[in-house]
């Protein structure tokens, strides 16, 4: 898969793309909701909440990207992961844009998680060697 075709949705299943975006929107919304609640309860745990947010925004899109790529089974898992992770990026930037660097860091983590989760679903033909 080339970099140019990573965000190309031609030939991709539109329902699975919509499922990935919606799942990432819901995941990030509830993750940020829990983080804001934890910061409200104990404001001293800022570092732990930020690390938890970073892990959650990487692992959530990773799992969703893997599931969408596995569901489609058309060797375009990275596309499903990246497009789906844009839902997380939208919610993150909507709520945390004024926070500065943490919004950019969480957005990059979400995109990396989506890409990696989708890329895990690439299948390889057994029995054929690429070296000839």
Q: What pLDDT is recorded for position 125?
A: 62
Residues in the chain: 132
pLDDT, the chain, mean:
87
Alpha-carbon distance 129 to 132, whole Å? 7
Between 27 and 41, name the one with better pLDDT.
27
Q: What pLDDT is recorded for position 17?
A: 93
* Three state DSSP letters for the chain: CCCCCCCCCCCCCHHHHHHHHHHHHHHHHHHHHHHHHHHHHCCCCHHHHHHHHHHHHHHHHHHHHHHHHHHHCCCCHHHHHHHHHHHHHHHHHHHHHHHCHHHHHHHHHHHHHHHHHHHCCCCCCCCCCCCC
Q: What pLDDT is recorded for position 1?
A: 57
- Span 19-24, average pLDDT: 96
Q: Name the nearest CA neighbour of 120 among 85, 82, 70, 84.
A: 70
Q: What pLDDT is recorded for position 128?
A: 54
pLDDT per position as a tens digit, 50-60: 899 999 999 99
Whether the pLDDT of residue 126 is over 80: the answer is no
Whether the pLDDT of residue 6 is over 60: the answer is yes
Q: What pLDDT is recorded for position 44?
A: 75
pLDDT per position as a tens digit, 71-125: 998 888 889 999 999 999 999 999 988 888 889 999 999 999 999 999 998 876 6
Q: Which pTM value belongs to this model?
A: 0.85
Q: Give the residue extent of every domain in the chain.
A: 15-119
Alpha-carbon distance 120 to 59, whole Å? 13
Q: What pLDDT is recorded for position 130?
A: 54
């Amino acid at each position: 898969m080339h970099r140019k075709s990573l965000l190309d949705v031609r030939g991709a299943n539109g329902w699975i793309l919509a499922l990935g975006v919606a799942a990432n929107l819901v995941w990030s919304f509830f993750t940020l909701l829990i983080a804001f609640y934890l910061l409200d309860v104990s404001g001293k745990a800022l570092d732990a909440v930020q690390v938890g947010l970073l892990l959650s925004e990487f692992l959530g899109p990773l799992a969703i990207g893997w599931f969408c790529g596995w569901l489609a089974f058309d060797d375009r898992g990275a596309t499903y992961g990246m497009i789906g992770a844009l839902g997380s990026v939208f919610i993150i930037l909507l709520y945390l844009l004024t926070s500065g660097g943490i919004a950019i860091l969480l957005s990059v983590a979400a995109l990396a998680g989506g890409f990696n989760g989708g890329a895990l679903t690439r299948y390889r033909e057994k029995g054929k060697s690429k070296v000839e």
